Amino acid sequence: MRTLYPTRAALQSAWANPDTRAEVLRELTERGISFEELAAGADRPDADPFDLLCHLAWNAPLLTRRERAEQAKKAAQDLFGQYGDTVREILTLLLDKYIERGIVQFNALSELMKVQPFDRFGSPSEIATRHFGGIKPFKEAVSRLQTALYQ
């Protein structure tokens, strides 16, 4: 881990950005790192992969996904504050899904938006258009939420 990212800050910078996180995950997969095995070895199935890596590489505190989501909600109050009730509910539901399933749920966002409880807000394109003002603002809001998870 330290060979790829010499400091926790370097890993955090790459991990916070959804685009560069995919590259980090690819590099780790190529080296045979399995988050399921790390979580099982640490006896923390509810830990975030980022926290597992930081805990093992730099002895950082091992947060649960719930703790990380609570911190993100506080850190992203401006994001939650700029939208109405429906969007705040959608963003909160995304955090709930993150707590339940981890960061990988953000990789299949359009599929996630098709199932409960998101489907009650419309199709993925309707959610983006009707509630966020378009695909681009929707993606930006979700990206900001992901960044807040790893601040």
Tokens standing for residue 74:
């506080």
Secondary structure element (H or E) that encloses residue 95, with its range: helix 85-101
Distance CA 15, CA 117 (A): 27
Domain definitions of the chain by residue range: 8-58, 65-149
Query: Which tens digits make up the pLDDT trace of 67-90?
Result: 999 999 999 999 999 999 999 999
Q: At 129, is the pLDDT very low, low, confident or very high (cuts 50, 70, 90)?
A: very high
Place of tokens 């394109």: 125
pLDDT, position 59:
94
CA distances (Å), 109 to each of 10, 88, 104, 105, in order?
26, 17, 9, 6
| Res 128: pLDDT | 95
Residue 110: what pLDDT? 84
Contact yes or no for 88/150 (Cβ under 8 A)? no
Whether the pLDDT of residue 16 is over 90: the answer is no
pLDDT band with cut points at 50, 70 and 90 for residue 140:
very high
The DSSP line for 119-134 is GGG--HHHIIIIIHSS
Query: How many C-beta atoms surround the C-beta of residue 132 within 10 A?
Result: 20
